Each structure stands twice: as C-alpha cells, then as structure tokens.
Structure 1
Amino acid sequence: MGKSTTAEMFEAEGVPVHSADAAVHRLYAGRAAPLIEAAFPGTVEAGIVDRARLGTAVVGRPEEMRRLEAIIHPLVREEEAAFIEAARTSGASLAVLDIPLLYETGGEKRCDRVAVVTAPASIQRERVLARPGMTAEKFEAILASQIPDEGKRRRADYVIDTSRGLDAARDEVSSIMKDLLGR
C-alpha cells in the first residue's frame, strides 16, 4: 500500500483524484506516442509506447530522462489543469493530485496543501521491487532522481505513514479531510 492506495481512500470519500501516473499511461497510448518515438526511435509499437524499451533508453541516463520529461510533463499538466477545472465546475470542495515527483518537478507550487505518503525505506523497497518489470537497478535510478523521503516529509503539510496498515492510513486520510473541510 502506498501513494495510489492512499489516493483511492480520498476517492472513496468522494474526493476527485487526478493520477499523474494514469495520465502518463493514457498519453503513452495516445498523443505522446509519436513525440516519444521521434525523440527515442524504436520505443513505440503499434502507436503505443513500449515502456520496457523506453526504460532502457532513459533509466540511469539523466540527460535522456530530462528529454522525456520535457515531452511528457507539459502534457500531464494540461490534463491536470483540465481535471482541476472540471472539479471546480462540479463544485468539489477538495481535489487530490496524485503526483509521484511533486517536489522534484515544482508541483507543490500548484497545490494549496501537500500530503506526503511515506513508509520506512525497507518497506518502500519491498513494495517497489514487487512491481512487474521492476529491478533493483531501476529502483536505485528512481531513488537517485528523487528528493530523500525525509526532505519530503519536512516540507509537507500532512504526512501519511502507510507502514501502519490500511486502517491507520484511512484514519489519517479522514483527519486530513476534517482539517481541510472544517468538519
């Protein structure tokens, strides 16, 4: 259980949630594919980005990763802006942006409050390495591109520790909602 599960808890409470990861998946199967193929030839098959091939092209290669981010981040932000406008139009009192590299991309500037989802490093490692296609090398490259967890926790308005289980995380989500909505 991590960031996505925690976002689902907000969603279960009726809060609209925008997942940057889901947006990337949609974009890789749509309008980002030709842009990525142009920048990284051989990474798209049948109009869909092959994540394994793209990973080979960018993981552990900071300059290539920056090129990819220069393509995908503006597209994700467009979807995010449309989501926020739709949430505002629908009368939502609160909306959640589920963004993996929030601080690293300056995304906290687009937020009124920030909740960081955390767990001890050993648990994070175990969870990430359990994902299909994840390797220790990829995990280390991901960590190298991120602000250390301690720094994120210090900067956050709220910290949700998911190492204590689902019920404790749900309680923290409820507490955050009460604080934000004045309930």
Structure 2
Amino acid sequence: MTRPFILGLTGSIGMGKSAVAAMFQGLGVPVFDADKAVHELQGPGGALLGPIEEAFPGTTGPQGVDRQKLGAAVFGNDAELRRLEKIVHPAVAAMRAQFLKDMAHEPLVVFDIPLLFEKGGNAGVDAVLVVSAGPEAQRARVLARPGMTEEKFEKILGLQVPDAEKRQRADFVIDTGVSLAETRHAVQRLVHSILDKNS
C-alpha cells in the first residue's frame, strides 16, 4: 500500500512551529497537530475526561480539563506525569493513525509534534524538520506570552532537547529568525523538493 511521505515537524518553544505548520496547510499539505488532538481529547465532552478525572480527581469539569489544576498535579512530579502520559499518548496515537488512514491518498503529510525527539516520535516519520531561531528571538517571543515568566521559560527549556542538538538530528532545518516571506519560501522549496523526490 502506498502511503504519504510523513514529515515530522518540531522545534523548541517559541521557535515559530505553529506559523510554519500553518504555511504547510496554506500549501494544501495536511497537518496532524498533536497539541490540537490533546485539546480535543481533554476539551468539553472529550474522550479522556473520565480517565483523567479518575486518575486525578477534581481536575476536570463541564469545560473539560482544568489545565491549571492538572498542571499543578503533574508539574515537577515525574511519576504523575508518566501516569498522565499513559492516558493521553495512546489516544493521540490512535487519532494520528486515523488521520494517516484518511490521508492515504496524499503524497505528503506533516505530523506537528512539539516533543518529537523527547518522546521518540521521530521513529514514526520519514524525515524530521526542525524550526529554529536565535536564542534572543526565542526568548522575546516566549516571554511575550500571557502568564509566562523567566522561571517557567527556563523550566520548559530544561525539559526540551536543546535547539542545537535538534538541528543536528534534523533532516531539514528552517530558520524562523528571518522575515515571514523568507520562511514561507523555505517551506515552499522544501515541499517541492520532497514531492519531486517522491513522485
């Protein structure tokens, strides 16, 4: 059975991954967004509300998972975080498999996975694209987010594979420290080269 070429898209916090994912979509390339899948599973009426409530009582309600309460329950606690991941990861993997089935006729799809290297997701893709910008641009973007602090930022960075290592392990790197137009051109070139090679 032929299947699409699977490009894994990843990058550290504040590197412009969402903007690049949107550029792929703008070019007609289907994108599976792991974060969006999690939001759906944990949102109002989401499939994971029951199991999460059972494992972490008081963290869900009519609006879905209370992200702050759940965050407080698992942040900095490896055992609890693993418990949550055991609930969430298989459900996301099932959604991803369904997406791939639905997109079987497409030549190229993108898996947008924030923690691709951290969680070993690179094993399930044909190539990895890392989006990256300089540390100053990254820091400025992240600290501009509502509710973000220097301390939170440092903690998140500590959990992520360093950008330099991601770039080294990537098949492709797109620099988002340039203008949007330049980044868009880089995405277009990449799409064309993958399609040409796999046509």
For residue 92 of structure 1, the aligned residue among 106, 109, 120 is 106
Q: One-letter code of the match for 2:177?
A: S
Give deviations 1:144-171, integer Å, cap 9, x for gaps.
2211111111011110111112111111
Q: Which has the higher relative contact order, 1 or 2, with Cα contacts under 8 A spaced 6 or more apart? A: 2
Greater strand fraction, Structure 1 or Structure 2: 2
Give deviations 1:78-117, integer Å, cap 9, x for gaps.
11111111111xx211000000000111111110111001
**Residue in 2 aligned with 1:126?**
140
Paired residues, what number? 181
Q: One-letter code of the match for 2:49?
A: A
1:117 equivalenced with 2:119 (yes/no)? no
**Residue in 2 aligned with 1:25?**
39
TM-score scaled by length of structure 1: 0.92
Q: Secondary structure at the match of 1:180?
A: helix
Q: One-letter code of the match for 1:2?
A: G
Given the superposition, is the C-alpha separation of residues 106 and 166 from structure 1 closer, same or farther in structure 2, using an over 3 Å criterion?
A: same
Distance 1:140 1:43 in 2: 26
Distance 1:137 1:36 in 2: 27
TM-score scaled by length of structure 2: 0.85
RMSD between aligned alpha carbons? 1.6
Shift of 1:47: 5.7
Given the superposition, is the C-alpha separation of residues 102 and 34 from structure 1 closer, same or farther in structure 2, using an over 3 Å criterion?
A: same
Q: Secondary structure at the match of 1:163?
A: coil
**Residue in 2 aligned with 1:69?**
85
Q: One-letter code of the match for 1:43?
A: T
Distance 1:55 1:126 in 2: 24
Is contact 1:119-1:161 (8 Å) kept? yes
Q: Which runs of 4+ in 1 moved over 6 A?
A: none
Q: Which runs of 5+ in 2 are unaligned?
A: 1-14
Is contact 1:17-1:96 (8 Å) kept? yes
Q: Which runs of 5+ in 1 are unaligned?
A: none
Distance 2:140 2:146 in 1: 12
**Residue in 2 aligned with 1:42?**
58
Given the superposition, is the C-alpha separation of residues 26 and 160 from structure 1 closer, same or farther in structure 2, using an over 3 Å criterion?
A: same
